[in-house]
Structure 1
Amino acid sequence: MGIQDIIEGKKQWRAHMARVKALPPDYQIVYQEMQRYFFKVGPVDLPDGPLLSGIVDFFEEGAANGKGVLQLIGNDVAAFCDDLIKDSRTYADIYQQSISGKPGTADK
């Protein structure tokens, strides 16, 4: 990864966060909690994947239609997040494989 890639990545992240800051306050709070949850749970493709920008698109559409954020996702934010990444490989999955001793994993 070269310096240009890093600079471009930062530009994209700043543009993404500007979109988040343009959302209504309740949407911003829920987005930040979802983002924190995803960073903890860790879908492997989170940095390169369309998940976070897709959530912002979904929230922008909901806000434009005058809906509250909990009307869109329900009261259980973690369950909504889990449903979004149910088919994604997470860092937790990788960790579980490494400690289970399955073939193809490194023994430490």
Structure 2
Amino acid sequence: MAAGWIEKVTGSLEQKKQYRAYKARIERLPANYRTAAEALDRYLMYYGSIAAGDTLLSMLDDLADLFEQCAADRTPIREIVGDDPVEFAETFLRNYAGGQWINKERERLTAAIDRAEADEAGAS
């Protein structure tokens, strides 16, 4: 019972554990891969604005998987992200767009315009 109340206040405890596990995975990467992964993490957090915890964790797990595999294969960083790391990050993020907070605002905008149109038709 207490766990349910705590999670309402602080968020999912399971997701917090998963996030800490992701951070530990990134921390274990060789320095150059860790630096690149942390930079991508930061950019994705700011640019992505993912509000759905499960989507965010899925994205971060996939990012960790990618860098762990590339580190194991000794894939050069530029072969991972290409010449434009911003383009790479934004393309990577598109796979997780369903969890972005902006989707809620898009729905809200569409509904408001639909209501305005209905009001306009009713006034005619």
TM-score by length of 1: 0.73
- Aligned position for 2:42: 36
Matches within 5 A, 1:62-81: 62-81=70-89
Which consecutive aligned stretches of 4+ in structure 1 deviate over 4 angstroms post-superposition?
A: 92-95
Residue 37 of structure 1 and its aligned partner are, at CA, apart by 1.3
AA matched with 1:20: I
Secondary structure at the aligned position of 2:110 is classed as coil
Q: CA-atom RMSD, angstroms?
A: 2.9
In structure 1, distance between residues paired with 2:81 and 2:33:
11
Residue 9 of structure 1 and its aligned partner are, at CA, apart by 2.4
Which runs of 5 or more structure 2 residues have no equivalent in the other structure? 114-124
Secondary structure at the aligned position of 2:91 is classed as helix
Higher helix share: 2
AA matched with 1:14: R
Residue 11 of structure 1 and its aligned partner are, at CA, apart by 1.9
Alignment: residue pair count:
103
- Aligned position for 2:101: 91
Q: % of aligned pairs identical? A: 25
State whether structure 2 residue 16 is matched by structure 1 residue 10.
yes
In structure 2, distance between residues paired with 1:13 and 1:33:
16
Give 1 or 2 for the bigger CA radius of gyration.
Answer: 2
TM-score by length of 2: 0.66
